[in-house]
Amino acid sequence: MAGKKFHLGYFTKFGPPAWQATDSRTDGSDWSNGRYFVDLARRLDAACLDFLFFEDTLSVSEAVGGSRELDLKYAIYAPKSDPIPLLPLLAHNTTGLGLIATCSTTFYPPWHVARLFSTVDGLTGGRVGFNVVTTSETTSAQNFGLDRMPTHSDRYAMAAEFLDVVNGLWEGWEEGAVLQDVETNTYVDATKVRALDHVGEYFRTRGPLNSPRSPQGRPLIAQAGGSDRGRDFASKYADLILAGAYGGPDEMKAFRDDVQQRVRAHGRNPDEVRVMFLTAVHFSDRPGATVSDLTSDAKFEALVVQNASELDLDLSRFDPDGPFPMDLEPGGHTSVYDGMKLLGAQGMTFREVISTVGVGGSWQPIGTPEAIADELIEVMEHIGGDGVMLLANDVGDDAFITNVTERLAPALQRAGAMQTAYAPGTLRDKLLSF
């Protein structure tokens, strides 16, 4: 039996959901009409997973060889649609499943994002989360009229001011501002609606929002902070911190301990912040299977494209069977590269590092759903972790979903490690209920 319950999320994209699956690669081929995701959300909801999480990006990647060919061939960054409009549809087909979508603080105006997420939070009954990203691809910058991305430091400075602004806008409508008082003919109490009048280094906005306070007041904030700057940023602002499963359980525990110390340093209560690890699981009945065994040449090439886009570096120039390069300067996610260097320092070749890291980190459980459930419980107990997020953005065929909802989740529930019903309240309330 597990020591305590932990949370289980499902990570995907609003794009081709199974193009790297083992067998049924065209499952969900009509993904753009949303029906695949309605069915997915219903199944996750019935199994009591905590939330469905959508990553997002803003370009067709040209990181490999300056060409968009491989990105489109493997459906890595494109095609992909904006997931935010999808959330209310999913909410209206589920009962308690949380719904988290990604939006960039580098390119979108904070007033627009504050109003958008407040609106969607209302449409979903308070089940929405905003995943904060700073964006890292040069091609994305060029889509928004810039020649290049701002520096890593500038992007985080912009993101900090961005969140100060959206939080201020959300707080501009007090609880009880909407009166609907027929006797006094007053719909809104104007004394409970305040302008922000923000003038900062990166943003100017007057406010207030013209949309009312949403069920959560402040939609749940998620953020993946891996670098030192990212960890500090997430510790200050995020309710849900995402982490890569790099290096194994000891390193994961060290990450969580470090983040909790930073949360305290910002005057926040660590018990009100959840740290969850992005985890690629491989369902297999084959004894002794390894990640490398499950990585075909085509899958390896797709992973090169994926990680080149993540790092904003052309990785196609390196010998797959040569040493992993330890002196690169990524323009993108520096924490991903730091995780790779941990493996390179152990003597792994470039192919082994890319295959092992994949898109989720070096801890990748392999086995039957029941065996994976046991491993998840063991690792969560070791690190004191708040949960895992299953990486499924390109392997989500029917077999994978069935293994998650009909075997993995029930095995965790039988062990007492996972909820069997949703707690009442908003998404934030549910995540903080245990």
Number of H helices, E strands in the chain: 15, 14
What are phi and psi for residue 210, nearest 5 degrees?
A: -100, 10
Which CATH number among 3.20.20.30, 3.40.50.300, 3.10.129.10, 3.90.110.10 corresponds to the domain 7-65+75-171+206-285+364-431?
A: 3.20.20.30
**What is the C-alpha separation between 63 and 66, in angstroms, rounded?**
6
- pLDDT for residue 301: 86
**What is the C-alpha separation between 246 and 265, in angstroms, rounded?**
25
Assess whether pLDDT exceeds 90 at residue 116.
yes
Assess whether pLDDT exceeds 90 at residue 41.
yes
Query: What are 263-309's pLDDT values in tens digits?
Result: 999 999 999 999 999 999 999 988 888 776 777 777 888 888 888 88
Query: What are 372-396's pLDDT values in tens digits?
Result: 999 999 999 999 989 999 999 999 9
Answer with the residue of higher pLDDT: 269 or 137: 269
Query: What are 47-75's pLDDT values in tens digits?
Result: 999 999 999 999 999 988 899 999 999 99
**What is the C-alpha separation between 432 and 196, in angstroms, rounded?**
29
Pairing state of beta strands 387-391 and 7-13?
parallel
Query: Can you give the pTM of this predicted structure?
Result: 0.93
Instruction: Give kind and range of the element (H or E) at residue 223.
Output: strand 220-224
Pairing state of beta strands 186-188 and 178-181?
antiparallel
Are 98 and 51 in contact by the 8 Å Cβ rule? The answer is yes
**What is the C-alpha separation between 355 and 152, in angstroms, rounded?**
26
**What is the C-alpha separation between 229 and 411, in angstroms, rounded?**
38
Residues contacting 402, CB < 8 A, separation 6+: none
- pLDDT for residue 360: 60
Structure tokens belonging to residue 231: 């960890």
Looking at the DSSP bridge assignments, the partners of residue 52 are 10, 99
CA angle, corner 33, sides to 20 and 360, nearest 5? 30
In the structure, what pLDDT confidence band is assigned to residue 310 with cuts at 50, 70 and 90? confident
**What is the C-alpha separation between 59 and 208, in angstroms, rounded?**
32
Answer with the residue of higher pLDDT: 407 or 63: 407
Give the position of tokens 């997002």.
56
Axis crossing angle, helix 228-237 with helix 249-265, rounded to the nearest 10 = 60
- pLDDT for residue 165: 98
Are 432 and 2 in contact by the 8 Å Cβ rule? The answer is no
**What is the C-alpha separation between 432 and 434, in angstroms, rounded?**
5
Pairing state of beta strands 198-199 and 204-205?
antiparallel
Pairing state of beta strands 186-188 and 7-13?
unpaired
Are 280 and 359 in contact by the 8 Å Cβ rule? The answer is yes
Delimit the domains of the chain by residue range. 7-65+75-171+206-285+364-431
Side-chain half-sphere of 62: how many Cα atoms within 13 Å? Answer: 10
Pairing state of beta strands 387-391 and 204-205?
unpaired
Structure tokens belonging to residue 316: 């196609």
Are 330 and 151 in contact by the 8 Å Cβ rule? The answer is no
